[in-house]
Amino acid sequence: MSLNSLRVARRAGVRAVCAGDAAHLPYRDGRFDRVVCNGAAHHLPDLPAALRELFRVLHPGGRLVLYEPVDSPLTGAVRRTFFRRSRYESPADLEHKHAFTRDAVERALVEVGFVDLAVSAHDFLAYPLSGMYMALPWSGSRRLMRALLGAEHALERLWPLRPLWDALAWRLLFSARRPA
């Protein structure tokens, strides 16, 4: 839970923001037509419980979007090698992050009742080379980040290499809909 993010959102005029338990949202059934989780769902200790709540607060036909780092053979190996005792990873996250895989998220979404599931892979170059969430000497360079993002977007257009980019991706974009 990020109280600072809550303050920033409220200052920006976002009304439907609160601090609380994702498995017990303080909103009525069918309250929202869209729910977006940007890098939050992988921190939740009980993803299915949170997804059931998100399903509940979405109105029929409402859309859920999750943009999340996921565990894959590559990301898991990097995490185990470099971040096992890192100040950048919380002990709680390290306990369950290995279970936050594409298959596990897709399965949980379907089990909760979401339909029209679409998944796309992202961040195979810029995110890891920027240092992820670690401060590396070049991490603060806007010029380098623009160049990395530009290179990543150009490489994404090379469709024969798409399976490689998907295998190297650090984040996935999940989109699903509550049936009407």
Question: pLDDT tens digits for 138-147?
Answer: 777 889 888 8
Q: What is the CATH number of the domain that holds 135?
A: 3.40.50.150
In a domain, 111, yes or no: yes
Among residues 180, 23, 43, the alpha carbon closest in space to that of 114 is found at 180
Question: pLDDT tens digits for 25-76?
Answer: 989 999 999 999 888 888 888 899 999 999 999 999 999 999 988 877 777 7
In a domain, 2, yes or no: no
Question: pLDDT tens digits for 111-133?
Answer: 999 999 999 988 887 777 776 66
The 3-state DSSP composition of the chain as helix, strand, coil percent (nearest 5) reads 45, 20, 35
Q: Is the pLDDT of residue 101 over 70?
A: yes
In a domain, 104, yes or no: yes
Domain boundaries, position 89: 28-177
Residue 62 confidence (pLDDT): 97
Neighbours of 156 (CB within 10 A): 16
Residue 15 confidence (pLDDT): 74
Among residues 60, 57, 69, the alpha carbon closest in space to that of 32 is found at 57
